[in-house]
């Protein structure tokens, strides 16, 4: 699904990208970054399509998703902490 089609599905679902990101516990920037690639991953496309269909049929999905215990994804590329706590002391001669 193209990012443009993805945005259309969110409009059908009456959601902004920010609201979608909040519902699925993702960082908004992670989603908007797909606009540069031009396509969204299939799992996000399926979710957006189903939300759009449910909204068209007046099925409330927000409360259902809010009840799920979705864990916030940890950001990739987090800085690595370098420290001396695990280093062995240097030999002194």
Q: Is the pLDDT of residue 56 over 60?
A: yes
According to DSSP, the residues that pair with 39 across neighbouring strands are: 2
User: Could you give the dihedral angle defined by the CA atoms of residues 23, 60, 54 and 27, in that order, rounded to the nearest 10 degrees?
Assistant: -10
pTM beyond 0.85: the answer is no
Q: Which of 14-18, 72-76, 78-82: highest mean pLDDT? A: 14-18
Six-digit token string for 80: 């690595």
Instruction: Spell out the domain ranges in the chain.
Output: 3-67
Whole-angstrom distance, CA of residue 55 vs CA of residue 62: 10
Closest CA to 55 of 69, 67, 65: 65
């Amino acid at each position: 699904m193209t990012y443009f089609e993805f945005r259309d599905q969110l409009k059908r679902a009456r959601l902004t990208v920010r609201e979608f990101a909040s519902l699925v516990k993702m960082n908004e920037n992670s989603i908007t970054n797909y606009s540069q690639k031009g396509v969204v991953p299939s799992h996000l496309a399926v979710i957006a399509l189903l939300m759009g269909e449910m909204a068209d049929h007046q099925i409330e999905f927000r409360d259902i998703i809010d009840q799920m215990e979705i864990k916030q994804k940890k950001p990739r590329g987090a800085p690595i902490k370098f420290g001396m706590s695990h280093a062995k002391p240097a030999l002194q001669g």
